[in-house]
Amino acid sequence: MSNLKNEIKLVLINKGMGMSDLIKLLNEKHNREDTVQNLNNKLTRGTIKYSEIKEIAEILNYKIGWIPEGTTIQLGDKNIILSTPLQHK
């Protein structure tokens, strides 16, 4: 199973949702008739479009962003550094 598929499933579990709930919301918002099987296939094969991932994130109230390496993010009382950038010699 792809890492992306696992990440989406983890978010769904944390929200008390399943893939069928996600598909229903996506179909309603974007006026289409996608299926759980179709989404699962795209995630498994790695053929899902970036725009579709952004739609999923939006439905789940998440944002996808480009954060520079070495950026410090404060979460509550903890600071998290997002990987240290490579040092060029």
13-27 pLDDT per residue, tens: 999 999 999 999 999
> Is the pTM value of this prediction over 0.95?
no
pLDDT in tens, 65-89: 888 888 888 888 888 877 765 665 5
The DSSP result for the chain, as a single string, is --HHHHHHHHHHHHTT--HHHHHHHHHHHHT----HHHHHHHHHHT---HHHHHHHHHHTT-------TT-EEEETTEEEE--PPPPP-
